[in-house]
Chains A and B, each alone.
Chain A
Amino acid sequence: MSTILSVDNITKIFGKSTVVDRISFEVNRGEILGLVGPNGAGKSTIIRCLLGIIHPDSGSINYSLDNSNKLNSSKVGYLPEERGLYKDAKIIDILMYIANLKNYPLDKARRTAEEYFEKLDLKGRDKVKIQELSKGMAQKVQFIASIIHEPEFLVLDEPLSGFDPVSQNIFIEEIKNLAAKGTAILLSSHQMNMVESLCNRIFMINKGQRVLYGRLNDIKDRHGSYKCELTGENDPHSLSRLPYVSRIDKDDQTIILHLENNITPNMFISELPSDLDIKEMNINRISLHDIFVKTVSGGVVNE
């Protein structure tokens, strides 16, 4: 796997606040790197720096595109979180304009557009104006706009927001396809289940600083704990005295027992008292969502 983008120690300061603080990461061909973090963590600023919309105050951003380490915007695609297109323009005109700005051959772009129209249920609507489309339809057009020039590096910011579940599945497949074809993808989202299902590696940022970076499995191993969801008639106090339980949360009928690090489910089950009332029990490795909440808010996990 070859590296397509390496970010080295970038810092961006707006006025008195350091929005991005000595951030380094890499994105490789064919992988999907998840960029996660709470609102205002600095994700958008990082993305804007990567795309050359703004420049970091220090540090360097190096691309490996076309034997040059500079940003070549015609090889880079971007789906911004702020959704919108020229409302009074026709779908095909906008797509051709973007392709033109990206120096992509227009006849090729037209063919690609047709393919996606077919795939995304937009066939025959190429001359429709954006303002006549539903919001979801317009977002599909915007997605096409971000990939029409076959980018080698693609930034997707909340790619699924606003789509119905059926469309979401189509786009998840499409994103996987792009990665399988070798596109390097940076995916920023708050939808942790999607990040978990799509991304090979995760970069988590909080208050401008890196808090987690690595393969999803490694991160989970490092956080290495399980949680047990238990439904039954039990006294919470006695539950908290069970062996290996570090913390408990109560959620209506269900009680969530957080296990200590490095405790496997087998060890936990073998030590359960016989008088425990179990109506339902689920033991899962903690999710990215839990890790996110734990890391960002300093440990209050409540699911």
Chain B
Amino acid sequence: MDLFFNLAINGLATGMLIFLLASGLTLIFGLMDVLNFAHGGLFAWGAFSGVWVYDLTGSFTIGVLGAIVTGLLLGVLTEWLIIKPVYGNHVQQILITLGFMLVLSEMLKVVFGPNPIAAEPPAGLEGSFQLGDVILIKYRLFIILIGALVYAITFFILKKTRVGLIVRAGVMDKEMVQSLGINIRFVFMLVFMAGSALAALGGILLAPYSGVIYAEMGMEFAILAFIVVVIGGMGSFTGSLFAAILVGLAQAFMAYYVPSLSLAVNMLLMAAVLIFRPQGLFSLKGGA
């Protein structure tokens, strides 16, 4: 039983990290109809800039804030310079964002050096609790907590505020939202910034979890995030949470019981969803 709990906690923590990346991606796709392959680059930049600030200040909290600010700034720049000229053209979006993803990865090597960088949890989050036979690693619980908190806050914003209402309406019908007097481009920008900040937050949280960060990590996680968006339903925020947890758990259990299938399991899950429910598990197109 303790093994089951440990694997479940591990899977949940991984799922929450993927969720942070995928939630922004699903909103950006749902609202803006933009396929942003550079999203993983923002995740990696969040990790590197956050760890750098963490090393510099000795405070993990300031490191997290540093990552979020990096995400916001890169989000504005990406939307303005890269995405804006290719709105409405998926082929151009794929090409330019994939290209920008490579630029972001290479720029990480230029700024932080080509070697992987080690990262450790802050002192308060090191170690574990023992609950009977079950060992609960503090940092993993922390990631699950932050993921749940981000979900709750974002869900509240989407469901209970006017901005959230506009975002949900925009996911369904952008043209109509504009016709009701709302500057959808400004909303696009806000969502893009928020999505980028969530990706960067995921990046800095991953650093102490995996113990090492490297420039190519963005692409690896971006693929996982796209799988999650497809499984959860494009544009569905809740869908991305469930799908991310599903992917995280499947990966954790498969890695233990059938290691040879641990990488393929995500693709198999996505293929099954595409065959039996192509609109995703949560097909509602309301962004929440």
Q: A and B: partners?
A: no
Contacts from A to B (Cβ < 8 Å): none
